Amino acid sequence: MAQGSWYDADIDHVIISEEQIREKIAELAKQVAADHASVDDGLLLVGVLKGAVMFMADFARALGRYGPPIEIEFMALSSYGQGTTSSGVVRIRKDLDRDIAGRHIVVVEDIVDSGLTLNWLLRYLESREAASVEVVALFRKPDAIKVPVPVKYVGFDIPSEFVVGYGLDFGERYREVPYVGVLKPEVYARS
């Protein structure tokens, strides 16, 4: 038997496979590229640390094949703490490194859950006088409809369960899992 990864024993079931993620990102990149073919100063991708790092890395490279030139910025916000429930409180832990006035921005988000974080972020970017702000989110949960956030591009609508993998963590673990899955109940019990 081939040797597995340390996390195999902790995952209850896979929600979205590695291959599904790869195919979806190519699709999203083609759409975003087609919609921004005439943007001449390039697109500024803004990712939210740390969950969006995997998506940013793969999306940026996919977009590079079809789209205009891009630049990448990251912000760090506090939304979820160590656990699995939203605090509703958004705090900037790392701001943008430069001026975004007049720039066309695409926010690259791992997951939209309540929408509170994104709703706050969009208002923040607009207050910094971006020329336009759009959002691409790889995952969206049904609760997202409670706070109206204009997510122009969505990868997958997923059930309202806590998921890990592809950048998403539980207690900072499981970000390296290449797919998205649900943890076994005993994993929560032992933490």
> Which partner from the list ligand XMP, Mg ion, none does 164 bind, CB cut-off 5 to 8 Å by kind?
ligand XMP
Residues that bind ligand XMP (CB under 6 A): 48, 51, 79-80, 86, 110-118, 162-164, 168-169
Q: What is the DSSP letter of 2?
A: -
Using the minimum distance from each CB to Mg ion, give the nearer residue, 62 or 177.
177
Residue of 180, 154, 153, 152 whose CA lies nearest to 167: 180
Binding-site string for Mg ion from residue 71 to residue 110, where x marks contact by CB under 5 A and - marks none: ---------x------------------------------
> Which partner from the list ligand XMP, Mg ion, none does 112 bind, CB cut-off 5 to 8 Å by kind?
ligand XMP
Residue of 177, 145, 191 whose CA lies nearest to 12: 177
Residue type, 160: S
49 lies in the binding site for Mg ion (CB under 5 A): no
Using the minimum distance from each CB to Mg ion, give the nearer residue, 143 or 169.
169
